[in-house]
């Protein structure tokens, strides 16, 4: 691999890793516009049997609003997504990412791990940078 190709691969991986983290940060305490901007227009958010499946940014944001209104997650709910053990495989303009996550509740008092799981993400390079195209969530 040529040096410029290696540099691009490293730059892509760093941008993708930061995207995974920004998704967690904005899910916990960001704005809906900021969160929506991290997804492709045709994104799929698949929370499995526990959380359901959402297609497209508008539907994904509906899910965010519902979880926030019910106090499950989102700004003001005192919850945190902690991402760990992330691997990234870049394949040109797409990438596969696997991460484990811990979901904490009661972060304003005595934080407690409520859920442990894994994300299996597909990222896509767009004219405005890397974005999440498909997220599969597995609990346990």
For residue 18, give every residue at least 6 positions away whose Cβ sits within 8 Å of its Cβ, in sequence order, or none. none
3-class secondary-structure state, position 76:
coil
Beta strand pairing status for 39-46 and 129-139?
parallel
Cα maximum dimension of the chain:
51
Please give the tally of structural domains in the chain: 1
Overall size of the chain counted in residues = 140
Residue whose tokens read 């390079």 = 125
**Distance of alpha carbon 74 from its chain centroid, rounded?**
13
CATH number of the domain within which 75 lies: 3.10.450.50
pLDDT per residue, tens digit, the chain (140 aa), is 799 999 999 999 999 999 999 999 999 998 989 999 999 999 999 999 988 999 999 999 999 999 888 888 988 899 999 999 999 999 999 999 999 999 999 999 999 999 999 999 999 999 999 999 999 999 99
């Amino acid at each position: 691999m040529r040096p410029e190709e290696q540099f691009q691969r490293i730059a892509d991986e760093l941008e993708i890793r930061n995207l995974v983290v920004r998704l967690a940060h904005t899910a916990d305490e960001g704005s809906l516009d900021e969160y929506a901007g991290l997804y492709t227009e045709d994104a799929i958010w698949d929370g499995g049997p526990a959380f359901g499946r959402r297609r497209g940014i508008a539907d994904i944001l509906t899910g965010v609003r519902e979880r926030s209104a019910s106090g499950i997650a989102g700004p003001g709910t005192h919850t945190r997504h902690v991402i760990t053990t992330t691997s990234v495989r870049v394949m040109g303009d797409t990438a596969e990412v696997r991460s484990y996550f811990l979901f904490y509740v009661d972060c304003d008092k005595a934080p407690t791990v409520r859920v442990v799981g894994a994300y299996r993400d597909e990222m896509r390079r767009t004219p405005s940078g890397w974005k999440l195209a498909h997220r599969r969530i597995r609990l346990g």
